[in-house]
């Protein structure tokens, strides 16, 4: 794969409505688009980091720095023949997984375009359409929350995930159960807002029969989660705590979770995501694909990885209109049938870029020639 040049575009797009979690509120997303040029093909990647280091330590700013100072020079140093080599090339650089994944994702797209196959196929995907869910932030009132739940249920979403935090947990979730019943697929995401001292309060959620509770305890913990899981009927799903296949193996061995949320950015790319998928499949741990309020390129990568066989639970990859007035890809991501997204069959990610939308939101652009 001879790389001719790499382009990094920085864009900032407003969300259709604010998104609030236990760690803060987002009104817009600024992110990076990566374009890797090789002959007649261009591979697309997206940095999923948030503007502030509140979900993880990475930010759009740290990603720009890491790309510029370390990762792009390393990638351009010698030619690679397969995307798996990118993970190895980046291994001496500690963490900075979202920065690594942005480049690695573009290389995977480029590689599958050169092979003339879909990214899903290149990754070993088997599902031709995927089940999807939606993540709902902390809403100003319970009524507004119920309105959103109703809207997304009507759109057929197969998993309703609600953000919770201490003081906003049992009440809104119980209201959803009272209103829509126990048959709707409901889960909660705490984004590390609790500690083991809250164990009694967390156990009060058990009667609500949630599909799972995501990352209740510290963002870097797998020990306390194993204690909590041993006392909790509701399955724990880890998000923030899992950065690698080794983290996943240890969490499974300790019994820290029964489900794992795989985010390509958080784990450093598609190669590592696939490895985590494989270890989970071996241990009968279901996985689903998490989201980072991605633009269309990130969304397309999520769709491709979700086509792997152990992704048996609906992920957070909603349609483009969940977050964007106009997405950066064409066509936009839509539900093919209620609660389902079709996996594109075209080469690579299977979407073109909407350069008009990108240019409307462009802050800066940098080109690295090889």
Q: Kindly name the residue from 263, 274, 275, 340 that is annotated as catalytic.
A: 263
* Phi, psi angle pair for 356, to nearest 5°: -65, -50
55-71 b/e with 16+ CB inside 10 Å = b? bbebbbebbbebbeebb
Structure tokens at 148: 């959103």
Q: Beta-strand (E) ranges in 22-128? A: 24-38, 41-47
Three-state DSSP class for residue 13? strand
Q: Which among ligand OSB, Mg ion, none contacts residue 169 (Cβ within 5 to 8 A by kind)?
A: none
Structure tokens at 109: 């797209």
Compute the C-alpha angle 112/116/122, nearest 5°: 35
Whole-number Å distance between alpha carbons of 169 and 171: 6
Contacts of 17 (CB under 8 A, 6+ apart): none
- Cβ of residue 291: shortest distance to ligand OSB, in angstroms? 2
Contact in structure between 310 and 128 (CB atoms under 8 Å)? no
263 has catalytic annotation: yes
Q: Which among ligand OSB, Mg ion, none contacts residue 251 (Cβ within 5 to 8 A by kind)?
A: none
Q: Is 265 in the site for ligand OSB (CB under 6 A)?
A: no
Identity of the residue, 266 or 275, whose beta carbon is nearer to Mg ion in the bound complex: 266
- Cβ of residue 290: shortest distance to Mg ion, in angstroms? 6
Compute the C-alpha angle 117/76/118, nearest 5°: 10
Contact in structure between 1 and 114 (CB atoms under 8 Å)? yes
Q: Is 84 in the site for Mg ion (CB under 5 A)?
A: no
**Per DSSP, what are the bridge partners of residue 186?**
160
Contacts of 282 (CB under 8 A, 6+ apart): none
Q: Is 43 in the site for ligand OSB (CB under 6 A)?
A: no
Q: Is 316 in the site for Mg ion (CB under 5 A)?
A: no
Q: Is 318 in the site for ligand OSB (CB under 6 A)?
A: yes
365 has catalytic annotation: no
Q: Kindly name the residue from 29, 163, 165, 340 that is annotated as catalytic.
A: 163
Identity of the residue, 96 or 215, whose beta carbon is nearer to Mg ion in the bound complex: 215
Contact in structure between 308 and 123 (CB atoms under 8 Å)? yes
Subset of residues 89 to 148 that bind ligand OSB, contact rule: CB under 6 A: 135
Q: Which of 324, 241, 255 is nearest to 290 (CA)?
A: 241
* Residue in 265, 269, 291, 295 binding ligand OSB, rule: CB under 6 A: 291
Residue 42 Cα distances to 37, 38, 70, 291, 362, angstroms: 5, 6, 22, 24, 19
Which x/- pattern, by CB under 6 A, does the window 66-95 give for ligand OSB? ------------------------------
- Cβ of residue 308: shortest distance to ligand OSB, in angstroms? 19
Which x/- pattern, by CB under 5 A, does the window 209-228 give for Mg ion? -----x--------------
Q: Which stretch binds Mg ion (CB under 5 A): 27-35, 116-124, 207-215, 350-358?
A: 207-215
Q: Is 247 in the site for Mg ion (CB under 5 A)?
A: no
* Phi, psi angle pair for 290, to nearest 5°: -80, 170
Q: Is 294 in the site for Mg ion (CB under 5 A)?
A: no
Which x/- pattern, by CB under 6 A, does the window 148-187 give for ligand OSB? ----------------------------------------
Q: Is 189 in the site for Mg ion (CB under 5 A)?
A: yes
Residues that bind ligand OSB (CB under 6 A): 55, 135, 189, 191, 239, 290-293, 316, 318
Residues that bind Mg ion (CB under 5 A): 189, 214, 239
Residues designated catalytic: 163, 263
């Amino acid at each position: 794969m001879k790389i001719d040049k790499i382009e990094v575009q920085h864009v900032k797009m407003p969300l259709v409505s604010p998104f609030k979690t236990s760690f803060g509120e987002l009104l817009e997303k600024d992110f990076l688009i990566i374009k890797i040029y090789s002959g007649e093909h261009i591979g697309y990647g997206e940095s999923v980091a948030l503007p502030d280091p509140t979900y993880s330590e990475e930010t759009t700013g740290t990603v720009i720095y890491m790309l510029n100072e370390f990762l792009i020079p390393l990638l351009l140093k010698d030619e690679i023949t397969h995307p798996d080599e990118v993970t190895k090339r980046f291994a001496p650089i500690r963490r900075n997984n979202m920065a690594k994944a942005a480049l690695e994702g573009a290389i995977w797209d480029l590689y599958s375009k050169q092979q003339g196959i879909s990214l899903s196929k290149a990754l070993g995907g088997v599902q031709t359409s995927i089940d999807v869910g939606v993540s709902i932030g902390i809403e100003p009132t319970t009524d507004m929350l119920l309105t959103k739940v109703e809207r997304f249920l009507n759109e057929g979403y197969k998993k309703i995930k609600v953000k919770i935090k201490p003081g906003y947990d049992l009440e809104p979730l119980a209201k959803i159960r009272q209103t829509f019943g126990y048959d709707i697929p409901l889960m909660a995401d705490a984004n590390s807002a609790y500690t083991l001292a809250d164990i009694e309060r967390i156990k009060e959620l058990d009667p609500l029969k949630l599909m799972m509770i995501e990352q209740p305890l510290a963002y870097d913990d797998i020990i306390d989660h194993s204690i909590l899981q041993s006392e909790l009927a509701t399955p724990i799903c880890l998000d923030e705590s899992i950065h690698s296949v080794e983290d996943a193996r240890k969490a499974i061995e300790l019994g820290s979770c029964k489900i794992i949320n795989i985010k390509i950015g958080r784990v450093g790319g598609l190669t590592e995501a696939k490895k985590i998928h494989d270890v989970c499949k071996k241990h009968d741990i279901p996985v689903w694909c998490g989201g980072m309020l991605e633009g269309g390129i990130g969304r397309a990568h999520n769709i491709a990885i979700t086509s792997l066989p152990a992704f048996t639970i609906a992920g957070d990859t909603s349609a483009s209109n969940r977050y964007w007035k106009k997405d950066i890809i064409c066509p936009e991501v839509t539900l093919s049938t209620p609660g389902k997204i079709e996996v594109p069959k075209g080469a690579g990610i299977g979407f073109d870029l909407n350069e008009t939308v990108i240019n409307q939101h462009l802050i800066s652009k940098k080109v690295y020639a090889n």
